């Protein structure tokens, strides 16, 4: 579960960064279809999940 | 989860990201060169903004205000790239029974000029039921039945005949049609001792002059108010038969701040020789910081087109003449509030920032306007002159709600106009707009919906159900081909 969350964390983080850069260079290209804040929110939720899900390999939280 | 599975999962996720990026680029580039945006007023739309301003709108059962109660209203269209043409499709209900609805795109921000195209013109709709009609595609020629010999409009069998051999100027009205007829004044003689008494004017304006065996000779005196921060470069343009034939570019005074320090007077001479006889249009394309103190000229005929702003210079008792059937006046200065006299009628200007209007039955004649003070914006459907002898209107009469065809002696109406289609209780119309010349800011074009007779106090409504815009421009393939060739 933690591994899946980590993968999602990377991809949502990258997505936010790429969309953000696209918006800077071409205003409205992403925002006209959806609000990129939702990606940021998803990224934050996944980050919180990663912190909360126990890491079985290291035995840490 | 094995390493293999993790890698596969990662690849899938990043592929999805790549696909999403591709999707956004594809939507922004519009490879086919054609796209449709629509607003049915049920939810906010990033591409097509809602109508504005709010005070000219009213709510219906829809989530977004879509009832127009006063004129005009605006909306913006966001497009990620440029297009050459837009076809606006409106589905609406004209419960206000308003006689004219037009729409258009902003083409000049300085002069706030929209290139208007017809949506609904009830004068033409009604006359096409009574008069003889020749339709060729979008073009329509209406002929008064008693004009033609047999009463069938047989004097002209097609529009080409009409254009190549038109009747006299006074008998024609046009709507959304560029009919270039040579306007010649019989018995006109230039007079070198004429002086036009032009008061100070603010911002942009246009006027006609008539030339016959004389040079164009205009001597403008400008100054810059420096009340806005922009640079105040401006142009003086000369047109003949709607074609730009000459222009002067005048540079800013060097003060680009908004300190309100008036510039020195700038004397600009616009002289041109060997011009053929006819009416010429001069356009001063300036922003509101530019004041024309006066225009010195000996031209006998000189009339300002549709609108002029009399600068608040403290001048009193100004006389103007107009052939307009409806005159509007607005002031932003409390000291300019007054009772303007138009012929025997009074126009009470008792509130700033409010447009006051008076309708006068002026078919074919002129009216005298007497202003106690300047500082007004005057507009009308005709021309304005500062001497009765200077009045000249080489424009063919516009076939709209202001025109009384019987009183004006109009026998022919030529137009590029298609009546709206009826779909149940709705009217559906498609309007083609040229976007190549449109003004674009922040990837947005501004559109107007104008219904000049729709007034808030009349409590009438124009109900819009759908605005759909089909855009077309160069495809990606065209652009690539262009790049290599």
Average pLDDT over residues B206-225: 93
Collect all residues from B whose CB is shorter than 8 A from any CB in A: 1, 6, 9-10, 13-14, 16-17, 20-21, 24-25, 27-28, 46-47, 78, 80, 442-443
- Identify the pLDDT of residue B12: 93
Percentage with pLDDT > 90 across chain B: 64
- Local confidence band at B224 (pLDDT 50, 70, 90 cut-offs): very high
Is residue B364 predicted with pLDDT exceeding 70? Answer: no
Positions in chain A whose pLDDT score sits under 70? 56-61
The contact set of A with B (CB < 8 A) is 3-4, 7-8, 10-11, 14-15, 18-19, 22, 26-33
Q: Do B17 and A15 touch (CB under 8 A)?
A: yes
Question: Does B21 contact A8 at a Cβ distance shorter than 8 Å?
Answer: no
Cα nearest neighbour of B18 on chain A: A15
- What ipTM is given for this predicted complex? 0.89
Query: Which tens digits make up the pLDDT trace of B397-406?
Result: 899 888 889 8
Does the distance separating the beta carbons of B10 and A29 come in below 8 Å? Answer: no
Rounded to two decimals, the pTM is 0.80
Interface with A, mutate which of B24, B27, B48, B445 (most A CBs under 10 A): B24
Please name the residue of chain A whose CA is at the shortest distance from the CA of residue B79.
Answer: A28
More confident residue, B193 or B38: B38
- pLDDT value at residue B44: 86
All residues of chain B having their beta carbon less than 8 Å from the beta carbon of residue A19 are: 24
- Do the chains contact at B24 and A29, CB–CB below 8 Å? yes
Give the span between the Cα atoms of B67 and A54, in whole angstroms.
58
Mean pLDDT of B54-65: 88
How much is the average pLDDT of B187-213?
Answer: 87
Mutate one of A2, A9, A28 to test the B interface: name it (highest B CB count within 10 A). A28
Pairwise CB contact (< 8 Å): B46 & A31: yes
Q: What is the pLDDT of residue B151?
A: 45
Average pLDDT of the residues of chain B: 90
pLDDT > 70? residue B284: yes
What is the model's pLDDT at position B153? Answer: 47
**Shortest alpha-carbon distance between residue B21 and chain A (Å):** 8
Give A-chain residues touching B16 at CB under 8 angstroms. Answer: 11
- Residue B152, pLDDT score: 44
Q: What is the largest CA-CA distance in chain B?
A: 100
Q: According to the model, what pLDDT value does residue B363 have? A: 62
The mean per-residue pLDDT over the stretch B425-441 comes to 94
Residues of A in contact with B28 (CB under 8 A): 26, 29
Which residues in chain B are contacts of A28 at CB distance < 8 A? 46, 78, 80, 443
If pLDDT is split at 50, 70 and 90, which confidence band does B391 have? very high
Cross-chain residue pair B24–A22, CB shorter than 8 Å? yes
| Band (B175; pLDDT cuts 50, 70, 90) | very high
Sort out which chain B residues have CB atoms less than 8 A from A22's CB and list them. Answer: 21, 24
Instruction: State the average pLDDT over residues B280-291.
Output: 93
pLDDT digits (tens, 9 = 90+) for B230-250: 888 999 999 998 899 999 999
The predicted structure's pLDDT at residue B228: 86
Chain B interface test: which of A29, A42, A43, A57 (most B C-beta within 10 Å): A29
Three-class secondary structure of residue A55 per DSSP: strand
For chain A, the farthest-separated pair of C-alpha atoms sits apart, in whole angstroms, at 46
Find which of A4, A11, A24 to mutate to test the B interface (most B CBs within 10 Å of its CB). A11
Q: What is the mean pLDDT of residues B389-413?
A: 89
Cα separation, B410 vs B114, in Å, equals: 27
- The chain B residue lying nearest A6, using CA atoms, is B10
Percent with pLDDT over 70 in chain B: 97
For residues B132, B136, B141, B142, the Cα torsion angle rounded to the nearest 10 degrees is 30
């Amino acid at each position: 579960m933690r591994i899946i969350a980590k993968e999602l964390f990377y991809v949502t983080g990258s997505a936010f960064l790429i969309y953000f850069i696209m918006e800077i260079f071409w205003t409205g290209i992403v925002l006209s279809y959806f609000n990129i804040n939702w990606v940021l929110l998803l990224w934050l939720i996944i980050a919180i999940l990663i912190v909360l899900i126990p890491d079985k390999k290291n035995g840490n939280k | 989860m094995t390493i293999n599975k993790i890698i596969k999962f990662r690849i899938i996720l990043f592929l999805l990201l790549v696909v999403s990026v591709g999707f956004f680029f594809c939507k922004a580039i519009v490879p086919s060169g054609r796209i449709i945006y629509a607003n049915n007023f049920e939810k906010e739309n990033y591409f097509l903004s809602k109508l504005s301003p709010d005070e000219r709108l009213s709510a219906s059962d829809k989530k977004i205000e879509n009832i127009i109660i006063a004129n005009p209203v605006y909306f913006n269209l966001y497009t990620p790239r440029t297009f050459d043409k837009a076809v606006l499709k409106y589905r609406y209900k004209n419960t206000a029974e308003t006689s004219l609805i037009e729409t258009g795109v902003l083409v000049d921000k300085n002069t706030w000029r929209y290139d208007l195209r017809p949506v609904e013109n009830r004068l033409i709709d009604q006359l096409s039921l009574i008069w003889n009609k020749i339709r060729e595609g979008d073009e329509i020629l209406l002929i008064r039945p008693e004009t033609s010999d047999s009463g069938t409009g047989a004097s002209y069998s097609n529009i080409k005949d009409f254009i190549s051999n038109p009747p006299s100027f006074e008998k024609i009205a046009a709507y959304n049609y560029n009919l270039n007829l040579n306007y010649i004044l019989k018995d006109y003689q230039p007079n070198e001792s004429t002086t036009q008494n032009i008061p100070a004017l603010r911002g942009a304006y246009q006027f006609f002059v008539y030339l016959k065996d004389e040079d164009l000779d205009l001597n403008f005196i400008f100054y810059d108010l420096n009340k806005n921060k922009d640079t105040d470069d401006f142009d003086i343009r000369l047109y003949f038969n709607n074609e730009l034939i000459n222009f002067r570019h005048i540079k800013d005074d060097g003060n680009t701040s908004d300190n309100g320090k008036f510039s020195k007077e700038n004397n600009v001479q616009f002289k041109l020789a060997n011009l053929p006889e006819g009416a010429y249009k001069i356009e001063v394309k300036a922003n509101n910081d530019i004041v024309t103190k006066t225009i010195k000229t000996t031209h006998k005929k000189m009339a300002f087109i549709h609108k002029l702003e009399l600068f608040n210079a403290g001048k009193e008792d100004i006389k103007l003449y107009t052939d307009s059937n409806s005159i509007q006046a607005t002031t932003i200065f409390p000291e300019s509030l007054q009772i303007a006299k138009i012929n025997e009628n009074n126009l009470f200007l008792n509130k700033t920032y409010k447009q006051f209007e008076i309708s006068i039955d002026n078919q074919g004649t002129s009216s005298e306007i007497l202003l106690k003070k300047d500082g007004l914006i005057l507009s009308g459907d005709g021309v304005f002159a500062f001497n009765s002898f200077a009045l000249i209107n080489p424009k063919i009469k516009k076939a709209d709600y202001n025109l009384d065809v019987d009183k004006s002696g109009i026998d022919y109406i030529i137009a590029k106009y298609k009546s709206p289609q009826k779909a149940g209780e709705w009217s559906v119309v498609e309007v083609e707009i040229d976007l190549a010349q449109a003004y674009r800011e922040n990837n947005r074009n501004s559109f107007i919906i104008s219904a000049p007779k729709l007034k808030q106090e009349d409590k009438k409504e124009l109900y819009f159900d759908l605005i759909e815009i089909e855009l077309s421009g160069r495809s990606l393939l065209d652009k690539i081909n262009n790049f290599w060739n």
